[in-house]
Structure 1
């Protein structure tokens, strides 16, 4: 049977249309895999802090800087994502478990201390950093060298801080505790001599002290009033992702990237970091 040229052309057009549709559908399906399970990846959503200089900070021009950001970027790279495929989402302390369990983020790197209460709702990889509760004082202050020196002095921290309560209840009960809405207010008070010290994790204190505008104004006392093992939070039961993140953290330490990130982000405050901790989660 003879087929007209017009009919043949129409058949070819239909065939090409079907092929294009099939290819388009396949690409969409592959790109929608935003997890760490392999296959083509579009993006990955990672939770970080937006307001902690040196750790997790969103700058006025929309960029992200800090040690936690560097760790998150390294881990995402090992999972198959380039920096432009990472979407950083703000993870305030009170919402971290909800963000993970609701699937709003793949994992969280946000000065997230591992403890039993949190492990009831989420799993952790790591730890990747060991911090200690410390004090930040003015650079020229020689009157505070140990926690007992806070008695009769003014101590500042954020409202509801467990660090401040630890000092007030257990270490220096006669300290005059002032609670503020944020660490910036405490820093202003410290600079203006309205308060004598600021307390929280030494990593957070070092981040603030290392800011360009604060260089030379403050110093860490160098105390270890508690141990805070920072972990990477992820969905409970996701052992595959936990194993992959642990492997990425080990590699980051072994190739020197971990220490470089510490020095770059916290070094200007003369921060003396602990060695990278042994990974215990998932083992």
Structure 2
């Protein structure tokens, strides 16, 4: 009788162990392409040319192309990537919680952010700029005095322009850049300001091709990095090596041309890993 009880208990324990193992097989893993593992990557869903979720559920943009290349170098095929929307305000928390392995989402490297996360890269040097209509006579910041300048609510970009070069610019704050671009098209505003890469992504959309141009003012330096969880130096090192390879084999420039080319985006050369332009 005693032997049967032990056997039954052992059988129960074995069944539980098998169940736990089976459940664990669905979790994310760093093993790469083996065993159907997945990797979660944070991107933006609403930035054309950078990170955009298409109506069919697919994703496109420069950040998506960079992340896909990096993931492949880490051992993951495109069908093993799970894209996770990470809005600007939640990027640090998403990494700290382990919601994603890394984030490629117009994530500018700053001293403040480096207190909370680590960065690989940078992989793109962007600048604050202006987007205007192709036939506009606005070619420098001072031309904005008396003109309507649009940016999103809470952004510092428009205030930066007003404080430094065009104190008489009339600010218009909308909830999203899509609204600013629509306002520029209709004539409700005269210029839109944010990072040139973001502006170029919008301008490169088929419905806007040829309608807008970048002023090329370079009002700030934005060093885009790939965010990883604080202390995850192993992943940071692997991503840096992947970025170096992406530049050296020509894939980086192809991604720039494909996503920003239609807007005649004058991109900076690929930045050196660890080199932050102030």
TM-score using structure 2 length? 0.89
Match of 2:135 in 1: 140
* Higher Rg: 1
Query: What are the superposed Cα offsets for residues 255-277 of structure 1, whole Å, 9 maximum, x if unpaired?
Result: 00000000000000011110000
Distance between the aligned counterparts of 2:197 and 2:130, measured in 1? 11
1:278 aligned onto 2:272: yes
Partner of 1:118: 113
Question: 2:47 touches 2:202 (CA, 8 Å); kept in 1?
Answer: yes
Question: 1:128 pairs with 123, 137, 142, which one?
Answer: 123
- Matched ranges for 1:161-180 at <5 A: 161-180=155-174
Which of 238, 243, 248 is the equivalent residue of 1:249? 243
Q: What is the DSSP-based 3-state SS (H/G/I as helix, E as strand, rest coil) of the residue aligned with 2:182?
A: helix
Partners of 2:30 and 2:158 lie apart in 1 by: 38
In structure 1, C-alpha distance between the alignment counterparts of 2:168 and 2:84, rounded to whole Å = 40
Gaps of 5+ in 2: 1-15
Provide the rounded CA distance (Å) in 2 between the counterparts of 1:182 and 1:38: 38
Q: How far apart, in 2, do the equivalents of 1:78 and 1:254 lie?
A: 14
Question: 1:130: how far off?
Answer: 0.2
Matched residue SS, 1:96: helix
Q: Kindly indicate whether residue 101 of structure 2 is the aligned counterpart of residue 106 of structure 1.
A: yes
Q: Say which of 65, 74, 79 aligns to 2:69.
A: 74
TM-score (norm: length of structure 1): 0.87
1:87 aligns to 2:82 (yes or no): yes
- Unaligned stretches of 5+ in structure 1? 1-20
Change (3 A) 1:38 1:269: closer
Alignment length (residue pairs) = 262
- Which moved further from structure 2: 129-138 or 166-175? 166-175
Mapped to 2, the partners of 1:33 and 1:270 lie a distance apart of 40
Whether contact under 8 Å (2:32, 2:75) holds in the other structure is no
Q: Paired residue for 1:13?
A: none
Match in the other structure for 1:237 = 231
Of 146, 167, 178, which residue of structure 2 is paired with 1:184? Answer: 178
Q: What secondary structure, in the 3-state scheme, does the structure 1 residue paired with 2:109 have?
A: coil
RMSD: 2.2
In structure 2, the residue matched to 1:157 is 151
Contact 1:35 1:41 (C-alpha < 8 Å) held by counterparts: no
Q: Which residue of 1 aligns with 2:254?
A: 260
Residue 67 of structure 1: how far off its partner (Å): 0.3
- What is the CA-CA distance between 1:195 and the residue it aligns to? 0.8
